[in-house]
Chains A and B, each alone.
Chain A
Amino acid sequence: MKRIMLTLLGVSFSASIAGAADANWTTYGGNYAGWRYSELTQIDTTNVAGLAPKWIFQMRVPGKTESSPIVSDGMMYVTAASNNAFAIDLRTGYAVWSYSKTPPKPLDLCCGEVNRGFAILGNRLFKVNIEDTLVALDIATGKTLWEKELGDYRKGYSGTLAPLIVKGNVLVGTAGAEFGTRGFVDAYSAATGERLWRFYTVPEAGAPGSETWGPDATLRVGGSTWMTGTYDPALNLVYWGTGNPGPDMNGDVRPGDNLYTCSMVALDADTGKPKWHFQFTPHDTHDWDAVADPVLVDLTIGGRKVKAVIQANRNGYFYALDRTNGKFLLARPYTEINWAKGIGPDGRPIVVPNLDPSNEGTRVCPGMGGGHNWQPTAYSPLTGLYYFGSTDGCQTFYRHDREFVEGEWYQLSGARDPQGERSKGSFLAIDPASGDIKWRFEMVRRPSGGAMATAGGLVFLGDASGNLIAFDARSGKVLWRFQTGAPIESPPVSYTFEGKQYIALASGTAVLAFALP
């Protein structure tokens, strides 16, 4: 009965104002808490087997598409590689406008001219460009309203993340730690592009945390902030993960813990002042950025209710922290680990000695990419489970020595697969209150796409072979899959158009929208 009434309501609304009654997807993480969870229930475990593509939009932009679409009022806004973006009509899959800006050359990038999506506020869209600028576009035309430099691309700064809108301001971070840049989180006025505050993830000489580096202040580099944070309105805190210290593989020039790299920071949303920090990997030498989604969930641990922030860290451990004060709650390994014997009661890893990268090579598990890397994760309040992909295997880490030169590649070696070893992958469901693995779907390759959960009891994932897969969120059973024809490097989103639920994502250089018949 209820369902029929809802359907009627949907029809009447769509007849008057297209999309007015529809469910949108308006933030990178689906909500402020970063759940990547859709409340929609039309597509569920009983009918997902009938899911089929409704339209495919070919962006024809070379490069990897790591973008999470924004859906609002009958339109989809999606970014592509190399400063390109499109506004797509949800009914037909045709583009209404496109945005393109040729990046300056040469650019120093670790990982391609990728972009992870728009943020939306009123009649404006916001994205970063690869040369580390923040740009505001008019939502109706895609025309540039303003563009601000975040960091100097000639010094190795670059921009890849989706911005986060908090209280009418645009929050962003920066990429570039392989080039000796200094990470930051910034807030900008949505109206004018004026910078309102900046938090540096690597402290200046004399500031708190600077004692965790060597004496030479010019060698305090890294801590890039290349993934989108989350926000707790009740606490007025913004949560952001930080990347590796520089140089990545050679820690000799940076004795100490190297705060606030490989950490989670909680910042006052109005001022950018740090409320607390937690460092997952002190003095990292394996490039284990802590930039994976900081997901906000309320857990019951040992009978006590706690406001938590959880993260599947690249170092191979799943963590839960108290998000009010940064206190360590728990950590559990989710993949093979040989670099630590465990995590102490204070949250500090008990590190196995002599596993730093070396000239002849040192075999360490997990490899340089982790564990879980940046790919978006999902939390379902329906199942209470947390879903993410993992690369399972080891790599041989190398290092060398070199002087630091501003703007130049400053990784000082890297990692390769050991001879005869091949990493595999898995997709996991974890109980965030205990870290227990509830199910694990083993994969021949690392899962390259992101996850999304729905109230239909489903969790979706794209893989490196091109499959978009729907799992039963409780059991991990595969209920549906579709070969999209290209490796999937991005997460799905869900929305309704004229009352009908869709699942959409980018695959290769195309955007696909799926629905039931």
Chain B
Amino acid sequence: MLSLQTAVLLGLSICTAFAQAPGGLARDPKSAEAGLALYRRHCSSCHGNQAEGGRAPNLTSGSLNDAQRFRTISDGIPNTEMAPYGSRFSSDDIWRIVIFLSSAARSESAVTGDATRGAALFWGKGGCGNCHAVGNRGSHVGPDLSGIGRQRNVVYLRESLVEPGADIARGFDGVTVLLRDGATVRGLERALDDFSVVLQDFSGKVYSFDRKDVRSVALDQQSLMPGYSKTLSPAELDDVLAFLDSLRNPRAPEVRRR
């Protein structure tokens, strides 16, 4: 039987063994690149192409250290979709992913704007609340942003403000139906197959059609959200970003990727 002291020492030495990447890997400039390749295949479908977050959390702005990252990948998170990868990857490969995530977190641009001014722009000049909700305020035409600072990083959010069509969240595709009389109906796609289409306009009204009864049905190539590169000044964009980054309600609904 191990004495308590030995057990604690043993525990400590195990922790030390897994607390950081082996020196060779840490010094190898190719580790992060190899980690990115592994990451892209096994992690990106949930956590985003650059770990910016998707249906699963943003991995570049959390508070985990490298040892905690290693343990999470290895053991998974019980009762979530985060599976344990310890039996699937060698520990060197897990460290390569950790090294990539660390470097991605460091390279994320710092938030320079003012969140209070950003909030005023969000609810005022930007008109963001006409479509987006934060907490109990705003509208639900677009994704609920109550936890978006936790779910996406600043690089991703800046892109979303400037070029909203770069990545449209799941369930927020726009669809345009051209009727036989020449009128159009535009809204968010709720269902689309080769025979029917269901859409919901911004007032919440639901429309459904048999496709044989309409002239055409087209998924919009562009997001329904306008780009803000002209509406807001660079300083104002930074302020809105600071506000979005501050939205971290842990119980907020996930904004899902397709």
Contact = CB atoms under 8 A, between A and B. Distances in A.
Interface stretch (A260-268, A328-336, A406-414, A493-501): A406-414
Given A413-B41, A414-B41, A444 B192 contact: yes
Contacts of B133: none
A60 B87 CA distance: 30
B256 interface: no
A398 B195 contact: no
B40 A399 contact: no
Q: Is the interface of A mostly helix, strand, loop or mixed?
A: loop
Interface string A400-426: 111101001101011010010000000
A478 B191 CA distance: 20
A416 to B, nearest CB: 7
Residue of A402, A416, A478 most packed against chain B (CB within 10 A): A402
A359 interface: yes
B252 interface: no
A62 to B, nearest CB: 14
A408 B44 contact: no
Contacts of B169: none
A481 B41 CA distance: 37
A109 B89 CA distance: 14
A403 B92 CA distance: 11
A393 to B, nearest CB: 14
B193 interface: yes
Interface string B182-202: 000000000111110000000
Interface string A457-484: 0000001011100000000001001000
Contact of B193 (A106, A400, A414, A465): A465
A291 to B, nearest CB: 22
A398 B37 contact: yes
A359 B37 CA distance: 6
B129 to A, nearest CB: 29
A219 interface: no
Nearest to B217: A444
B interface bracket (residues with beta carbon within 8 Å of A): 10 to 19
Contacts of B230: none
Interface in B184-241: 191-195
Given A106-B87, A403-B90, A408-B87, A398 B192 contact: no
B251 interface: no
B34 A401 contact: yes
B35 to A, nearest CB: 9
Residue of B37, B90, B191 most packed against chain A (CB within 10 A): B37
Nearest to B40: A398
B38 interface: yes
Nearest to A407: B87
B45 interface: yes
B193 A416 contact: no
B125 interface: no
A328 to B, nearest CB: 34
B33 interface: yes
B37 A399 contact: yes
A444 B195 CA distance: 10
A139 interface: no
Residue of A399, A400, A411, A413 most packed against chain B (CB within 10 A): A400
B93 interface: yes
Contact of A463 (B38, B40, B194): B194
A253 interface: no
Given A106-B87, A403-B90, A467 B37 contact: no
9 contacts: A108-B88, A399-B37, A400-B34, A400-B41, A408-B87, A408-B90, A413-B41, A444-B194, A465-B192
| Smallest CB-CB A-B distances: 3 pairs | A465-B193, A400-B37, A414-B41
